[in-house]
Structure 1
Amino acid sequence: MNNSLIKVYTDGGNRNTGNKPGQHVHERDLSAWAYIIEYEKKQYIASGFQFGATNNAMELMAVGSAFRKITKTEELKKQKIELISDSHYVLDPMEKGWLEKWMKTKKERPNFTMWQTLYPMYLE
């Protein structure tokens, strides 16, 4: 097994974040996500979009999509990952142990289904 580090860069967003009073993400608002996986001298790049998703949902979609790519790509499996993201919404639950607590308590929270999907890939 190679011990090279995989670097994963992710981002997600929506023009209308809903962070101000009275703002809401509307079903026609364009939302997007992207990732770049760097491993040795190779890059794997993907992006996508949907309408009406929140910024946080797109941040999770980027990470989940990158993790799925890693788990389905033989040379990437079982390698150590460094996740680079500007989203504390994504990073804090992983780095501070909140994600594991959330999965044990199964307390409903925003994007919980996405967190449930991400969790097994996070453990690998």
Structure 2
Amino acid sequence: MNNDLPQVQIYTDGSCLNNPGPGGYGVVILDNQNHRQELSGGFRKTTNNRMEILAVIMGLKALTKPHQVTIYTDSQYVVNAMMKGWAKKWQINNWKRNPREKAKNPDLWQELLRLSNQHQVNFTWVRGHSGNKENERCDRLAFSAAQNDSLQEDVNYEY
């Protein structure tokens, strides 16, 4: 681990009104100099899991140079896929979870793996809706983004 890298905390959350349905993501980025950045966006038809993964992607994309990153998310799916190596295994197995079952969201997992390789990333699970200030803020950002009138198309979502 390179302790010389700047440190940043990224809080993320995804939201979906119905599932699938309109969805959004929310991101809060905090650095050691008390700088704060908030990001959000929404899609017409997507899934909650896609928005959870995309929130992390958007947070990492906002970094312009390598960082030591702690991702805080209430998605055990994201934490386990990254920390237990599931996503890397799916990638090695041509995006299959097992011989009969395709991995879902390979477009997003591939991008998340690529971005994670540019940084030193640790994923930490936080319980959703339990009073964590930044997770609650991400939840509001994601929910609000999902309700926007000008939502984008999630072109890689398979109906």
With the shorter chain as reference, the TM-score category is 0.7 to 0.9
Aligned pairs for 1:43-122 (under 5 A) are 43-70=36-63, 73=64, 77-106=65-94, 107=96, 108-122=102-116
1:21-45 deviation line (CA, Å, top 9, x unaligned): xxxx2xxx32110101101211121
Q: 1:47 & 1:2 partners in 2: Cα distance?
A: 30
One-letter identity of the residue aligned with 2:39: A
More strand as a share of residues: 2
TM-score using structure 2 length: 0.64
Q: 2:36 & 2:51 partners in 1: Cα distance?
A: 21
8 Å contact from structure 2 (residues 5, 66) kept in 1: no
One-letter identity of the residue aligned with 2:16: N
One-letter identity of the residue aligned with 2:13: D
1:2-37 deviation line (CA, Å, top 9, x unaligned): 5442100000011213xxxxxxx2xxx321101011
Matched length: 109
Match for residue 8 of structure 2? 6
C-alpha displacement of 1:93 = 0.9
8 Å contact from structure 2 (residues 28, 39) kept in 1: yes
Aligned pairs for 1:11-26 (under 5 A) are 11-17=13-19, 25=20
One-letter identity of the residue aligned with 2:85: G
Does structure 1 residue 32 correspond to structure 2 residue 24? yes
TM-score using structure 1 length: 0.80
Deviates more, 1:107-116 or 1:87-96: 107-116
One-letter identity of the residue aligned with 2:27: Y
User: After TM superposition, which residue ranges in structure 1, 4 or more long, deviate above 3 angstroms?
Assistant: 1-4
